[in-house]
Structure 1
Amino acid sequence: MHQLLKKYSTVIKFIFTFLGTYLFLALLYNIYLQNYSSAVYYPDYLTHLVALQSEAVVSALGYESHLRSGFPEATMHLYIGEKFVARIIEGCNAASIIILFVSFMLAFSGRLKTTLFFTLAGAVVIYVTNILRIALMAIGIFEYPWHAHFLHSIAFPLVIYGVVFLLWVLWIAIYSKQIRYESSH
């Protein structure tokens, strides 16, 4: 048993670091959701901010758009003209995806400075991609309402998870180069 633990210690460390980080960050996020919702930034600050920024992108792309609270639902409603095109809920703010990304990064960390920089940059890329994803999906639903299900359920989840996957692949390539460089010196 000791030999198996020694042989797979790197894998075991990865799994426990990933799961521990994920559970810890998810717990912190849930505490945030339970304690920091407000009438000013409904339903919570982060979701509200994502809704505002997504609406701003839709407007910047030449569409007349506006937001309305979805109260009593914990949602913001995005309209193009007077047509309702999207409900922006807590799950749309990319926090859970960023938590997943950060957990992987900490479990598969390299040099501290490089890991922290890539983690921060990756989180920003995911956040910006998410804003663009919501805005473009809203425009797509406005222009092609018969494709709403495909856009919401397949195309745009593929975009956000595809970006996370590409970031992970890029990190593994960087990490592998670090390991090879450190072992040769």
Structure 2
Amino acid sequence: MFPQLPATATGWPRLAPRARFLLVAAGLYLAWLVGYEGFIGPEGHFDALLSVNIAAASARLLRLLGFAAGHAAGTTLLTMDGLPAVYVGAPCDGLVLYALFAGFIIAFPGPTRPKLWFVPMGIAALYLLNIGRVAALALNHHYAHRSVDFNHHYTFSFVVYAFICLLWMLWVRQYGSPAAEA
């Protein structure tokens, strides 16, 4: 009465690539929602550690470039010439972007082996971009503080999301095809 879908070696029906992508993406989103909103986010320790790390790394980058940047141990505040410049809060630590990037790559049809190196390398690239973003915001605050709000909410958001999109396009062009899935 009902048409039979071709079965895989496990006996489960083979899903069309789009349906598989949507199901895996929805499952990963649900796992993220439960994991972050139920455990990671409310506790706040991981976000706090990541925010402190981003602030400290951004201060180190600015010092390396010759600017008088500072960061008090254990805080999320980056200073310029001893004055507060940027506070790195949980929404700006990049954790949600890492999950968004990884979720897309994991859910998209393609071979598993390249995903094992592409996801960590992409997250590392996003982490470095976030350090650069926070350092640039500190410089922006120090030299042209009136434009910080605009640049934080629009300019740097565009740059970060464009970079994520570029990584996704690179993945899709290089590895993303149902036929390539191993």
- Please give the range of the TM-score, normalised by the shorter of the 2 chains: 0.7 to 0.9
Partner of 2:157: 157
Q: CA RMSD in A?
A: 2.8
State the aligned residue count.
170
Query: 1:143 offset after TM fit, Å?
Result: 1.2
Partner of 2:19: 12
- What SS does the aligned partner of 1:63 have? coil
Task: Quote the Cα distance in structure 2 between the aligned partners of 1:59 and 1:109.
Answer: 43
Task: Quote the Cα distance in structure 1 between the aligned partners of 2:97 and 2:140.
Answer: 23
* Structure 1: 5+ residue stretches without partners: none
Task: Quote the Cα distance in structure 2 between the aligned partners of 1:133 and 1:36.
Answer: 22
Query: 1:160 offset after TM fit, Å?
Result: 1.0
Query: 1:20 offset after TM fit, Å?
Result: 1.2
Task: Tell me which amino acid in the other structure corresponds to 2:26.
Answer: L
Task: Quote the Cα distance in structure 1 between the aligned partners of 2:33 and 2:63.
Answer: 33
Structure-1-length-normalised TM-score: 0.79
Task: Quote the Cα distance in structure 2 between the aligned partners of 1:67 and 1:14.
Answer: 42
Deviations 1:129-178 (A, max 9, x none): 111111112112211112112211111111111110100011110124x6
Name which of 48, 51, 60 aligns with 2:52.
Answer: 48
Structure-2-length-normalised TM-score: 0.80
Query: 1:26 offset after TM fit, Å?
Result: 4.1
Q: 1:23-62 residue pairs with structure 2 within 5 A?
A: 23-30=30-37, 31-35=39-43, 37=45, 44-62=48-66
Partner of 1:66: 70
Task: Quote the Cα distance in structure 2 between the aligned partners of 1:127 and 1:105.
Answer: 17
Task: Quote the Cα distance in structure 2 between the aligned partners of 1:105 and 1:48.
Answer: 28
Task: Quote the Cα distance in structure 1 between the aligned partners of 2:63 and 2:124.
Answer: 22
Q: 1:1-185 residue pairs with structure 2 within 5 A?
A: 9-30=16-37, 31-35=39-43, 37=45, 44-68=48-72, 76-176=76-176
Relative to structure 1, the CA distance from residue 27 to residue 50 in structure 2 (aligned partners, 3 Å threshold; closer, same or farther) is farther
Identity %: 24
